[in-house]
Amino acid sequence: MEAKENKLKVGDRIYTKSYHSIQGVNTVERVTATQAICNGGNIKFYIYILQHGGIRLVGRDKWSTYSYYLETEELKQQLWRQKAINKCKTIDFAKLTDEQLKQILEIANPCPPTL
């Protein structure tokens, strides 16, 4: 995004965050004079991007815990990390070989385990 550009455009990706965790990503499908429409019209944002990269949801509840941001490299990295951690939570360690377990332990715990 250029410094002069302060409006959403078709193709922009908007990240939804709550309590420092990314809850979802929406892509702008079309824009009007005042709004950016996502998800087939189910989600609408005001077209102007705030100075800190935030975006306002049309009809937003002022008590909502959700925040909306235009995609940045930091948000892309955070989303990748979040997904990687979630995938690691579903690993069935019983199916891994001893060698694979040793490699994981070497990465996760630099001190050798006493077995």
Task: Give the domain ranges of the chain.
Answer: 1-71, 72-109
C-alpha span between 70 and 72 (Å, rounded): 6
pLDDT at 51: 84
Query: pTM for the complete prediction?
Result: 0.78
C-alpha span between 55 and 36 (Å, rounded): 10
Identify the band that residue 2 occupies on the pLDDT scale cut at 50, 70 and 90.
very low
Sequential DSSP letters for 63-83: T--EEEEE--HHHHHHHHHHH
CB < 8 Å & 24+ apart, contacts of 95-102: none
Tell me the per-residue pLDDT of 7-24, one tens digit each, with 9 for 90 and over: 999 999 999 999 989 999
C-alpha span between 84 and 93 (Å, rounded): 16
Confidence check: pLDDT of 98 > 80 = yes
Burial group, residue 55, by CB count within 10 angstroms (0-12, 13-18, 19+): buried
Give the chain's mean pLDDT: 88
Confidence check: pLDDT of 55 > 50 = yes
pLDDT at 58: 87
